Structure 1
Amino acid sequence: MYLGVDIGGTFTDLVLVDGEGRLTTTKALSTPGELEVGVFDAVRNAAEQIGMTAEELLAKVTAFGHGTTQATNAVIERDGARTGLLATRGFGDTLAIQRLMGFTAGVPVSRLGWYSRRRYPDPIVPRSLVREVRERVDHQGKVLVELDEDGVRTAVRELLDQGVQTFAVAFLWSFRNTDHERRAGAIIREMAPDTYVTLSSDVAPVIGEYERTATAALNSYLAPKVVSYLDGIEQMLRRRGFKGAFSILNSAGGVMPVAEAARRPVTLVTSGPTGGVMGSVHLARRLGYRNLITTDMGGTSFDVAIVVDEKPLMSLNHEAGGFHIATPMIEVRAIGAGGGSIARVVDGQLRVGPDSASAWPGPACYGRGGTEPTVTDADVVLGIIDPETFLGGKMKLDRAAAEKAVRDRIAEPLGLSVEEAAAGIRRIVDAQMADTLREVTIGRGHDPRDFVIFAYGGAGPVHCAGYGAELGVPKMIVPVTSMAHSAYGALAADVQYSRERSMLMRGGGGPRKLSEGLDPCAVGSAFAELEEDCRTAMERAGVAADDVRLLRAADLRYRRQTNDLMISFPAGAVDQAALEELVARFEETYEQTYGKGSAFREAGIELTNVRVEAFGAARRPELKVETSVKEPAAGRRRIFEPVAMQWMETAVYNWRDLPVGFRIDGPAVIEHPETSVFVAAGQYARLDEGANITIEQNVEA
């Protein structure tokens, strides 16, 4: 059996697949402060569904994939370790200065104009815990000033006396010559053998002094909390009978052993949202879709990613807690729009989010003391969510409490009926999500009509009819795993490992071809060494050599620019023709990203980094979901249709009763024990052969 778990802000989701491909999904409430409790609750729920105890189930699980928000939460809440930083003399203020973008990092677009509120982020390493060390390496890796080892010892002793728990070492140009960083790390371990140490040349061996320093500092800042959590959850599973392989989903779309995750916790910063993206990619390949928009609407946030030609768009520099880290990650855009997003009247206007009621106290309808109206409360008032069947009837919702919250806080202040106010909440949050989708598609030069939407998360299937139609996509797909899709991604993802190296080369300029000046021998040698590193890592992870797939890429930009584009590089020999093809793809990608005619060939080109990603194939059985062969009986209930703004008699179907190809015209609701799918007026839905639901616009409407 194979098991995947993803911990969200409100629910912990679980997917279980047995050796025959049979699927079981379930949820349990997340338990902040003791996240492993929520994980075990989800395991116990799954075991009950298949007639086992939790211990019996865990004994049969051979692989456990886990997506976690622990690193993300530590950054947001600023409760990481007390970290000391060693820097080259004269460069101790790198983290404080950041770059010009530092004081806008992580600020929502709608607030960028609030100049008086711009602030540099709270430091992860206070200036009092930074020590400058005498040493210097130049841009070619030549030692100009030898490392002052006595100075390192003095700095380490001072920092230990100040209660430092972990260390980061980030020297100038260390990626060209790692000797000084490695020696400093060795000295730290001699003086404090149990102390966690991060070298910038290990976690981010790329050009960019600030990003490399921030990556190293965040890695050490996160390490104790992440390592403690991973160790705790693994031990909990082992004590209860689990003997299989335990893997952690990273931010680049693959899983890695716990030991590797402990060495590089900074790669887990977007672990949770990445699971849904990879689950969608895996399913899309089976369904024949190459371009997709993944949309994960949970209790607190709406996470979006773009997949083009089966490849998720990657970000080379990712913002986390106001700092930029230099590790490749799937680019996930998030806004505060979820089922728990709170609606308020501000200056006579209705606003929704970004703050959330979270799991506790939760929406008013949860009956846990929450009084603020939320998106989920609005869906209950409208009749889209049935209070009696929520979570398969395991959690009864309080419709009266939802109506009271919406009436008192929204309807009466605005002079609306309760239903009109609830419809307003829903339409506003759908419009906010559609705006985000436009930014990541149209804003990047992509036509939404060339994509299909994958909608998942607890609230995604409830709302995709709204934000998908407003965006104008031709088709929306609600996966059969939608209620725990990120957990499915953690289960289905391949083992992944990546290595990169900076090697600044300049080509072209003026009348010369852009590829002139790029050295194929140096590029080929770098790729060969990185590939060997990746194969070794795959071997450590227990992946057979025949199951390893290597992908190359290079980062390029026009000369004197500051932002790179990552361009794929073919396997095989590296010669001048291969470099010319690389440059041609860069120019094509550049104009696709920034607009036709934006390329500036006369400036010349710079190749800044080369990268290799290794994937070890995860051999999981294909999903086999039984579907009905009989025409289903439809229930009926009245729903206040939020676009038509009127009460309508609506068909209600059970997802598990639907036969393949059965057409459902909206408005309609398709219920599942863990979610509900809303089909709006003017749309229709069908069940495909994999038991996924496809929603399309009715052209006859």
Structure 2
Amino acid sequence: MYLGVDIGGTFTDLILLGDDGDLITTKALSTPGELEVGVFNAVRDAAARRGMSGEELLARVVSFGHGTTQATNAVIERDGARTGLLASRGFGDTLAIQRLMGFTAGVPVDRLGWYSKRRYPEPIVPRHLVREVRERVDHAGKILVSLEEGEVRSAVRELLAEGVQTFAVAFLWAFRNPEHERVAARIIREEAPGAYISLSSEVAPVLGEYERTATTALNSYLAPKVVSYLDAIEQMLRSRGFKGAFSILNSAGGVMPVSEASRRPVTLVTSGPTGGVMGSVHLARKLGYRNIITTDMGGTSFDVAIVVDEKPLMSTNHEAGGFHIATPMIEVRAIGAGGGSIARVVGGQLKVGPDSAGARPGPACYGRGGTLPTVTDADVVLGIIDPETFLGGKMKLDRVAAVAAIEEHVAHPLGFSVEEAAAGIRRIVDAQMADTLREVTIGRGHDPRDFVIFAYGGAGPVHCAGYGAELGVPKMVVPVTSMAHSAYGALAADLQFSTERAVLMRGGGGARQLYDGFDIEEIGRTYGELIDECLNAMRRAGVADTDVTLVRTADLRYRRQTNDLIIPMADELVSDASIADLVARFERTYEQTYGQGSGFRDAGIELTNVRVEAFGKARRPEIKPILPTNAPRSTRRSIFEPTLGRRIDCDVYNWHDLPMDFVASGPIVIEHPETSVFVAAGQIGRLDANANITIERQESGNGRN
């Protein structure tokens, strides 16, 4: 058996895949402060459906994939470790300067002009916990000034006296020659045995002293919370009979052993959202979709990513908490729009989010003390969510409380009926999500009509009919795993390891070939060394070389620019021809990203990093849905249809009862124990051969994907 788990702000999602392809999904409430408790509650629920105890189930599980938000939460809540930073003399203010990017890091585009709202983020490492030491290495790795070991020892003792728990070491050009950083690490271990240490030459061996320093500092800042959590959940699993492989989903779309995750916790910052993206990629390949938009609407946020030609868009510079992380990550755009997003009237206008009621007190209908109206309350009032069947009947919702909250805070102030107010809440949140989808598609030069939306998360299937129609995509897919899709991604993802090397080379300019000036032999030699590192890491994880796929990429930019694009190498052999192809790919990608005619080849080109990713093939059984052959049974329920603006009777189906050839015109509701799918008026809902639900415009049976 195979388990995947994803912990969200409101629910812990679990997916269990049997050796025969039998699928079980379940949810349990997240337990803040003791997240492992929520995990075992979900395990126990899945086990009960198999007729066994939680311990019996865990004893039969051979692989456990886990997506976690621990690193994300530590950044957002600023409750990481007290970290000390050792820097080269003269570079102690690197974190504070931030290349002047701190004012705008993480600020939504529509608020960039609000100068009064701009603030530098709270420091990861306060200036009084930064120590400069005498040393200098030049850009070629030559030692110009030897490291003063006495200064390092004194600095470490001073930081320990300040209560520092972890250390980060980021010396200038250390990725060219890491000797000084390694000596500093040895001294720290002598002075503070057992202290967590991050070296920039190991965590982020790339150009850019700010990004490299921030990544290294964040790695140490996050370590104690992430490592203690991983230890706690693994101990819980082992103590209850689990003997299989335990792996953690990283931000680049693969899983890694706990030992590697503990060494580089900064690579887990977007672990949770990445799971849904990779689950969608896996399913899209099976269904034959090359271009997809992944949409995860949970209790607190709406996470979006785009996949072009079966590959998620990646970024080498991700913002987290106002600082920048220089490790490859899947680009995931998030806004505060979820089932728990709070609706209120401000200045006579209805606004939804970005603040959320969270898991506690939660929406008013949860009956946990919440009194403010949320998106989930609106769905209950409209009749789209049935209070009696929520979470398969395990959690009864209070419709009266939802009505009261919307009446007091929205309907009465605006002079609307409660149902009109609820429909307004739904339309606004759907429009906000559609705006985000436009930004990641049209804003990047992509036509939404060339994409299929994948909708998942607790609220994604409830709302995709709205934001999909608003965007104008031809088709939406609600996966059979949608209610635990991020957990499915953690289960289905391949083992992944990546390593990179900064190799600043400049070429082209004027009439010369763009790659004139690149050292082809050095590039080939560097790729060879990185490949050896990746294969050795896979061997340590028990993966045979024959089961490893290697992906070579390079970071390129026009000269004097500050942002790179990640470009794949097509050929295994590094030659003049393969480098020429690489540069041509860069120019095409640049204009696809920034617009026709935006390239400026006369400036020349820079190769800044080369990277190798290794993927160890995950051997999992395919999901084998059991589909009935009888005609589906339905009940009737009165709902207030938000697109029609009136009450109407609609058919309500049980997802598990739908036959393979099921087709129905909206409005309809398809209920699952963990979610509900809403098909609006003017749309058609279908069930495909793999038990996924597709939603299309009624007048169009085929999209352009």
**Normalising by the residue count of structure 2, what TM-score does the alignment of the two structures yield?**
0.99
User: How far apart, CA to CA, are the structure 2 residues paired with 1:376 and 1:542?
Assistant: 45
1:532 match = 532
Moved more, 52-61 or 109-118: 109-118
State the 1:520 CA deviation: 1.1
2:44 match = 44
State the 1:116 CA deviation: 1.2
User: How far apart, CA to CA, are the structure 2 residues paired with 1:331 and 1:220?
Assistant: 23
Secondary structure at the aligned position of 2:380 is classed as helix
Q: Residues 33-91 of structure 1: CA distance to partner in whole angstroms, max 9, x if unpaired?
A: 11001001000110111111000000000000000000000011111000000000000
Secondary structure at the aligned position of 2:613 is classed as strand
State the 1:192 CA deviation: 1.1
- C-alpha contact 1:276 1:485 (8 A) present in aligned 2: yes
Instruction: List aligned pairs for 1:488-567, cutoff 5 A.
Output: 488-567=488-567
Letter in 2 for 1:100: L
Secondary structure at the aligned position of 1:241 is classed as coil
Secondary structure at the aligned position of 2:614 is classed as strand
State the 1:485 CA deviation: 0.2
State the 1:614 CA deviation: 0.3
Identity of aligned residues (%): 78
Secondary structure at the aligned position of 1:175 is classed as coil
**Structure 2 residue 5 is matched with structure 1 residue 5:** yes
User: How far apart, CA to CA, are the structure 2 residues paired with 1:81 and 1:385?
Assistant: 42
Instruction: List aligned pairs for 1:658-673, cutoff 5 A.
Output: 658-673=658-673
- C-alpha contact 2:152 2:187 (8 A) present in aligned 1: yes
Secondary structure at the aligned position of 1:510 is classed as coil
Letter in 2 for 1:477: V
Secondary structure at the aligned position of 2:434 is classed as helix
User: How far apart, CA to CA, are the structure 1 residues paired with 2:489 and 2:512?
Assistant: 46
Letter in 1 for 2:83: T
Letter in 1 for 2:656: R
Moved more, 672-681 or 139-148: 139-148
State the 1:108 CA deviation: 1.9
Secondary structure at the aligned position of 1:113 is classed as coil
1:443 match = 443
1:323 match = 323
1:482 match = 482
How many residue pairs get aligned? The number is 701
1:14 match = 14
State the 1:544 CA deviation: 1.5
User: How far apart, CA to CA, are the structure 2 residues paired with 1:60 and 1:467?
Assistant: 41
Dislocated runs of 4+, deviation >4 Å: none
2:258 match = 258
State the 1:149 CA deviation: 0.5
User: How far apart, CA to CA, are the structure 2 residues paired with 1:572 and 1:552?
Assistant: 8
User: How far apart, CA to CA, are the structure 1 residues paired with 2:128 and 2:203?
Assistant: 24
1:434 match = 434
1:676 match = 676
- C-alpha contact 2:571 2:578 (8 A) present in aligned 1: no
* Unmatched 5+ stretches in structure 2: none
2:110 match = 110
Q: Residues 565-617 of structure 1: CA distance to partner in whole angstroms, max 9, x if unpaired?
A: 01000242111111110010000000000000010011000001000000000
- C-alpha contact 1:684 1:696 (8 A) present in aligned 2: yes
Secondary structure at the aligned position of 1:99 is classed as helix
State the 1:100 CA deviation: 2.1
Q: Residues 120-179 of structure 1: CA distance to partner in whole angstroms, max 9, x if unpaired?
A: 000110000000000001111111111010000000010011110000000001111111
User: How far apart, CA to CA, are the structure 1 residues paired with 2:572 and 2:32?
Assistant: 49
Secondary structure at the aligned position of 1:368 is classed as coil
Letter in 2 for 1:81: A
User: How far apart, CA to CA, are the structure 2 residues paired with 1:416 and 1:100?
Assistant: 47
Q: Residues 425-482 of structure 1: CA distance to partner in whole angstroms, max 9, x if unpaired?
A: 0000000000000000000000001100000000000000000011011100000000
Secondary structure at the aligned position of 2:282 is classed as helix
Secondary structure at the aligned position of 1:531 is classed as helix
2:619 match = 619
User: How far apart, CA to CA, are the structure 1 residues paired with 2:9 and 2:110?
Assistant: 24
Moved more, 105-114 or 201-210: 105-114
- Across the aligned residues of Structure 1 and Structure 2, the Cα RMSD in angstroms comes to 0.8
User: How far apart, CA to CA, are the structure 1 residues paired with 2:546 and 2:620?
Assistant: 16
State the 1:290 CA deviation: 0.6
Structure-2 change in CA distance of 1:222 and 1:700 (3 Å): closer
State the 1:242 CA deviation: 0.5
State the 1:414 CA deviation: 0.2
Secondary structure at the aligned position of 2:167 is classed as strand
Secondary structure at the aligned position of 1:98 is classed as helix
Secondary structure at the aligned position of 1:104 is classed as coil
Q: Residues 160-206 of structure 1: CA distance to partner in whole angstroms, max 9, x if unpaired?
A: 11110000000001111111111111111111111000000101000
- C-alpha contact 1:508 1:604 (8 A) present in aligned 2: yes
User: How far apart, CA to CA, are the structure 1 residues paired with 2:499 and 2:490?
Assistant: 21
Secondary structure at the aligned position of 2:103 is classed as helix
- C-alpha contact 2:509 2:601 (8 A) present in aligned 1: yes
Moved more, 417-426 or 657-666: 657-666
Instruction: List aligned pairs for 1:551-700, cutoff 5 A.
Output: 551-699=551-699
1:160 match = 160
1:128 match = 128
State the 1:700 CA deviation: 7.2
1:179 match = 179
Q: Residues 256-309 of structure 1: CA distance to partner in whole angstroms, max 9, x if unpaired?
A: 000000000000000000000000000011100111000000000000000011
Secondary structure at the aligned position of 1:343 is classed as strand
* Unmatched 5+ stretches in structure 1: none
User: How far apart, CA to CA, are the structure 2 residues paired with 1:433 and 1:487?
Assistant: 23
